[in-house]
């Protein structure tokens, strides 16, 4: 059993909350000893009222000791220590707050290390116990010698095993900083303190608190060095200097990291990305100096022997400019296709997007070198350069992702959900699938009320997720989180996705947002058309053996090689979709011919049958939005495993609407680079694979 000792003096405003944090502990084998040190306010009445409102079993675990005289916090804790019957001792100040897993996690940590004394990290909170973001972390292990220059053990975080630490050593002397004096006395006996680097306590610290007075703090620590540690004047001066340096560096470093964590993350990502770009450029530099510069530097003689003059001669700055141009083009391509978002996107996505950026950059560079030579140069060296770069990209993306995850812990996440509990559970599981970025700590219903939700958001979460919370309620929660510097992720509705297509206009002194009827410009549509034609021809050529085998197989199995379906296309038009009748591997390859006919695009929303589309529109009229662009051979939704063909229930509107949302993201954020990523980088095998689900 754990005996929790709380000294109580004029804490009527806080003690109810403190008692709640004890009764909410996941470890239930405890006793709570409240020692009132002759409070002048109504602290005792508040405690008695709390006890009367608790159930009988919980109330029986709480004792209130009223002292006849006021002797200070140290003597009050000693009174509680005398009354304690548990093996383990935990101290809690009357105005501090514990997180629910505090006792459970510390006890597990103590048993793991066979320790007699453990403490945890903690957060600073304001007068309402709302975390301010400042965190004090503890070292893994602290000896007496190291403890003399680091007063970081906070009383409300400790847990002591009386079978390994003599109970008399836990008694506190009646001096200033009695808690630090006690820890030093314990460690003098050779007992080290083990630190659990997990934030389990909120230290309620109003701006006028005693510990905020630096002058008094220095006087107290000086007295401890002289009277408790027994140090001389020189030794005390030396240790107080170390104490001041540690406190200052901790404040500068911790505060700097805390305030600029996102900037540090982005700078780290930039460093990792730039280092990768430098490696790719270095490989290109080898090909340039070894192969291509000797070519453009040599005399230019045609095949029929005509001499066009000497080659191009470059000096150091010229070579530097060539490499700089390559680096800038690669940077631009990487920046625009997301391959510099290490730690944010999955490693697989980063690798593919980097390969695409490298391919485009090398093609541009090949054209550049050919222009410099005034003739097409041999591509072999650049192809080999690209292969080496791809190998480096695969290794570096995996390594840089590992570095990022090792340095930055996943965000501790709170999920606030609306009415649908089951959907909230599904969302939680999806966030947990990205354990490198998110650690779901709690899900909470918005039915608890706005005040309860805002109070929970104010605690220790790294981010808050809103799902199924709409209207003014969502606006209020988002506004609260924004004002308190809390990161928010919102699961959007289709209307929210439409808002992303707005463009800002400045007509007068009020901002106006314009939502155009066409989100894809005419020049983009023209480029997409050419891409569709040449891409389809290329894929038809390289997949023709698979299609030929599929036609024979399908004819033998079904009596008909091709299945025809009337499907919806752009602006409500229809087209005939051709697929293999047996629905097995390569089933979608005949659709490549539909691209040449104009009914399909290479990339776009998944084509669905006319009758099925009409039924979906009847259930949700917003499905008509999918027809703003042509359907595609593959698409954005398919890269996330979302397909109408894979649904066990084609009329599960929640699942169907998820596909619609992904389609709307694709439409509103259309770009040629995105099409290239989807086609070459993230093309799902299901685009040409077998039938995952036979539609009714």
What is residue 466's three-state secondary structure?
strand
Cα 442 to Cα 10, 218, 415, 456, 595: the distances in Å are 33, 41, 6, 10, 47
Instruction: Give 135-181 pLDDT, tens digit per residue.
Output: 788 888 888 888 887 777 889 999 999 999 999 999 998 887 888 88
Q: Of 479, 478, 498, which is closest to residue 489 (Cα–Cα)?
A: 478
Q: Which residues pair with 123 in a beta bridge?
A: 135, 202
Instruction: Give 569-619 pLDDT, tens digit per residue.
Output: 988 889 999 999 988 888 889 999 999 988 899 888 999 999 999 999 888
What CATH number is given to the structural domain containing 436? 3.40.50.2300
Give the burial string for 541-578 (b: 16+ CB within 10 Å, else e). eeeeeebeebbebbeeeeeebebebebbbbeeeebebb
Q: How far apart are CA 402 and CA 145, in angstroms?
A: 36
What count of other Cβ atoms lies within 10 Å of the Cβ of residue 313?
Answer: 9
- Under DSSP, the state recorded for 514 is E
On whether both 282 and 371 belong to a single domain, the answer is yes
Angle at 614 between CA 610 and CA 618, to 5 degrees: 170
What range defines the domain where residue 551 resides?
Answer: 522-687
On whether both 60 and 163 belong to a single domain, the answer is yes
Residues with Cβ within 8 Å of 236's Cβ and at least 6 positions away in sequence, in order, are 222, 225, 226, 229
Q: Read off the pLDDT of each residue in 332-342 and give the average, rounded to a whole number.
A: 80
**What confidence category does residue 207 fall into, taking pLDDT thresholds of 50, 70 and 90?**
very low
For 329-437, where are the E strands, in sequence order?
411-417
Q: Read off the pLDDT of each residue in 91-117 and give the average, rounded to a whole number.
A: 92
Domain assignment present for residue 516? The answer is no
Give the burial string for 380-390 (b: 16+ CB within 10 Å, else e). ebbeebbeebb
Q: How far apart are CA 175 and CA 155, in angstroms?
A: 15
Instruction: Give 291-310 pLDDT, tens digit per residue.
Output: 999 998 888 776 666 666 77
| Beta carbons of 195 and 141 less than 8 angstroms apart | yes
Residues with Cβ within 8 Å of 357's Cβ and at least 6 positions away in sequence, in order, are 330, 333, 334, 337, 339
Residue at a domain's end among 382, 407, 432: 407
Q: Which residues pair with 64 in a beta bridge?
A: 34
What CATH number is given to the structural domain containing 169? 3.90.550.10
Instruction: Give 69-86 pLDDT, tens digit per residue.
Output: 998 899 999 999 999 999
What is the gyration radius of the CA atoms in the chain, in angstroms? 34
Which phi and psi (to 5°) does residue 574 adopt?
Answer: -120, 160
Give me the pLDDT at residue 209, please: 43
Domain assignment present for residue 232? The answer is no
**What confidence category does residue 695 fall into, taking pLDDT thresholds of 50, 70 and 90?**
very low
Task: State the pairing for strand pair 463-467/562-568.
Answer: unpaired
**Residue 409: pLDDT above 80?**
no
What count of other Cβ atoms lies within 10 Å of the Cβ of residue 96?
Answer: 24
On whether both 171 and 305 belong to a single domain, the answer is no
On whether both 310 and 362 belong to a single domain, the answer is yes
| Beta carbons of 539 and 593 less than 8 angstroms apart | no
Domain assignment present for residue 613? The answer is yes
On whether both 578 and 605 belong to a single domain, the answer is yes
Which phi and psi (to 5°) does residue 118 adopt?
Answer: -130, 155
Give me the pLDDT at residue 144, please: 85
Give me the pLDDT at residue 308, please: 67
Q: How far apart are CA 685 and CA 639, in angstroms?
A: 9
On whether both 181 and 276 belong to a single domain, the answer is no
Domain assignment present for residue 240? The answer is no
If one counts the domains in the chain, the total is 4
Q: Which residues pair with 439 in a beta bridge?
A: 412
On whether both 294 and 191 belong to a single domain, the answer is no
On whether both 38 and 144 belong to a single domain, the answer is yes
DSSP labels for 560-611?
Answer: -SEEEEEEE-GGG-EEEEEEETT--TTTTTTHHHHHHHTS-EEESSPP-BHH
**Residue 365: pLDDT above 60?**
yes
Give me the pLDDT at residue 306, please: 67
3-state helix, strand, coil in the chain (%, to 5): 55, 15, 30
Q: Of 501, 439, 500, 496, which is closest to residue 465 (Cα–Cα)?
A: 439
In this predicted structure, which of 316-320, 472-476, 692-696 has the lowest mean pLDDT? 692-696
Domain assignment present for residue 235? The answer is no
pTM of the full structure: 0.53
On whether both 36 and 137 belong to a single domain, the answer is yes
Q: Of 353, 345, 364, which is closest to residue 393 (Cα–Cα)?
A: 353
**Residue 196: pLDDT above 80?**
yes
On whether both 274 and 379 belong to a single domain, the answer is yes
Q: Which residue has the tokens 């000893």?
A: 33
Domain assignment present for residue 239? The answer is no
Residue at a domain's end among 443, 468, 490: 490
| Beta carbons of 175 and 229 less than 8 angstroms apart | no
What is residue 476's three-state secondary structure?
helix
Give me the pLDDT at residue 672, please: 73
Residue at a domain's end among 407, 439, 472: 407
On whether both 399 and 457 belong to a single domain, the answer is no
Domain assignment present for residue 478? The answer is yes
Q: How far apart are CA 96 and CA 209, in angstroms?
A: 13
Give me the pLDDT at residue 322, please: 94
Exposure of 203 in the CB half-sphere (CA atoms within 13 A): 23
Instruction: Give 642-687 pLDDT, tens digit per residue.
Output: 888 888 788 888 788 888 888 888 887 777 777 777 776 444 444 4
Residues with Cβ within 8 Å of 435's Cβ and at least 6 positions away in sequence, in order, are 410
What count of other Cβ atoms lies within 10 Å of the Cβ of residue 125?
Answer: 24
Helices 471-483 and 450-457: crossing angle, nearest 10°? 30
Query: Among residues of the chain, what percentage have pLDDT more than 70?
Result: 86
On whether both 615 and 533 belong to a single domain, the answer is yes
Give me the pLDDT at residue 324, please: 95
Q: How far apart are CA 418 and CA 145, in angstroms?
A: 53
| Beta carbons of 166 and 224 less than 8 angstroms apart | no
Handedness of CA 355, 361, 365, 367 (dihedral sign): positive
Task: State the pairing for strand pair 503-505/512-514.
Answer: antiparallel
Helices (H), 171-315: 178-188, 214-227, 233-259, 261-287, 293-297
Q: Read off the pLDDT of each residue in 480-484 and give the average, rounded to a whole number.
A: 77
Q: How far apart are CA 110 and CA 100, in angstroms?
A: 17
DSSP labels for 138-195?
Answer: --SEE-HHHHTT-----GGG-EEETTTS-HHHHSPPSSTTHHHHHHHHHHHTTPPEEE
Domain assignment present for residue 159? The answer is yes
**What confidence category does residue 507 fall into, taking pLDDT thresholds of 50, 70 and 90?**
low
């Amino acid at each position: 059993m754990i005996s929790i000792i709380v000294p109580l003096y004029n804490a009527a405003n806080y003690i109810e909350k403190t008692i709640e944090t004890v009764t909410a502990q996941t470890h239930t084998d405890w006793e709570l000893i409240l020692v009132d040190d002759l409070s002048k306010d109504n602290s005792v009445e508040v405690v008695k009222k709390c006890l009367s409102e608790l159930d009988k079993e919980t109330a029986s675990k709480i004792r209130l000791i009223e002292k006849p005289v006021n002797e200070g916090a140290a003597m009050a804790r000693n009174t509680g220590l005398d009354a304690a019957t548990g093996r383990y001792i935990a101290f809690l100040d009357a105005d501090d707050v514990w997180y629910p897993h505090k006792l459970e996690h510390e006890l597990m940590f103590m048993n793991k290390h066979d320790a007699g004394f453990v403490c945890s990290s903690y957060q600073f909170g304001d007068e309402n116990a709302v975390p301010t973001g400042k965190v004090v972390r503890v070292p893994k292990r602290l000896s007496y010698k190291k403890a003399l220059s680091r007063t970081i053990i906070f009383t409300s975080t400790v847990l002591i095993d009386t079978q390994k630490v003599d109970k008399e050593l836990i008694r506190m002397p009646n001096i200033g900083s009695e808690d630090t004096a006690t820890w030093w006395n314990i460690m003098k006996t050779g007992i080290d303190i083990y630190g659990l680097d997990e934030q389990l306590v909120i230290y309620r610290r109003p701006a006028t608190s005693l510990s905020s007075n630096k002058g008094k703090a220095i006087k107290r620590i000086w007295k401890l060095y002289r009277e408790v540690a027994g140090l001389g004047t020189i030794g005390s001066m030396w240790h107080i200097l170390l104490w001041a340096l540690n406190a200052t560096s901790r404040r500068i470093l911790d505060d700097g990291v805390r305030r600029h964590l996102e900037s540090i993350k982005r700078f780290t990502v930039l460093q990792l990305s730039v280092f990768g770009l430098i490696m790719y450029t270095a490989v290109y530099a080898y090909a340039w100096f070894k192969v291509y510069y000797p070519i453009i530097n040599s005399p230019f003689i045609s095949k029929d022997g005509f001499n066009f003059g000497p080659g191009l001669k470059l000096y150091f700055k010229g070579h530097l400019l060539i490499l700089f141009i390559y680096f800038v083009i690669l940077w631009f391509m990487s920046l625009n296709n997301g391959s510099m978002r290490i730690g944010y996107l999955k490693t697989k996505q980063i690798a593919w997007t980097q390969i695409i950026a490298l391919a485009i950059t090398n093609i541009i560079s090949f054209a550049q070198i050919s222009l410099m030579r005034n003739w097409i140069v041999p591509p072999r060296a650049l192809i080999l350069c690209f292969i080496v770069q791809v190998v480096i990209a695969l290794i570096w993306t995996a390594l840089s992702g590992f570095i990022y995850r090792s340095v930055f812990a996943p965000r501790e996440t709170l999920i606030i959900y609306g009415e649908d509990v089951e959907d909230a559970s599904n969302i939680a599981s999806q966030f947990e699938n990205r354990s490198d970025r998110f650690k779901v700590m709690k899900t909470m219903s918005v039915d608890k009320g706005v005040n309860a939700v805002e109070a929970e958001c104010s605690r220790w979460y790294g981010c808050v997720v809103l799902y199924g919370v709409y209207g003014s309620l969502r606006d209020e929660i988002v506004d609260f989180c924004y004002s308190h510097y809390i990161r928010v992720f919102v699961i959007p509705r289709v209307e929210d996705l439409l808002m992303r297509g707005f463009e800002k206009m400045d007509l007068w002194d009020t901002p106006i947002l314009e939502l155009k009827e066409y989100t894809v410009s005419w020049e983009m549509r023209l480029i997409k058309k050419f891409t569709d034609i040449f891409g389809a021809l290329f894929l038809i050529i390289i997949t023709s053996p698979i299609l030929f085998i599929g036609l024979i197989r399908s004819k033998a199995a079904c009596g008909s090689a091709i299945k025809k379906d009337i499907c919806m296309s752009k602006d409500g038009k229809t087209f005939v979709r051709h697929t293999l009748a047996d629905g097995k591997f390569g089933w979608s390859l005949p659709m490549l011919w539909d691209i040449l006919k104009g009914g399909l695009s290479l990339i776009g929303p998944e084509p669905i049958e006319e009758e099925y589309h009409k039924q979906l529109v009847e259930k949700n009229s917003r499905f008509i939005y999918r027809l703003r662009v042509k359907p595609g051979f593959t698409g954005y939704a398919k890269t996330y495993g979302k397909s109408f063909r894979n649904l066990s229930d084609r009329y599960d509107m929640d699942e169907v609407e998820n596909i619609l949302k992904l389609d709307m993201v694709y439409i509103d954020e259309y770009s040629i680079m995105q099409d290239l990523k989807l086609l070459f980088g993230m093309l799902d095998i299901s685009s040409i694979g077998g039938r995952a689900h036979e539609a009714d």
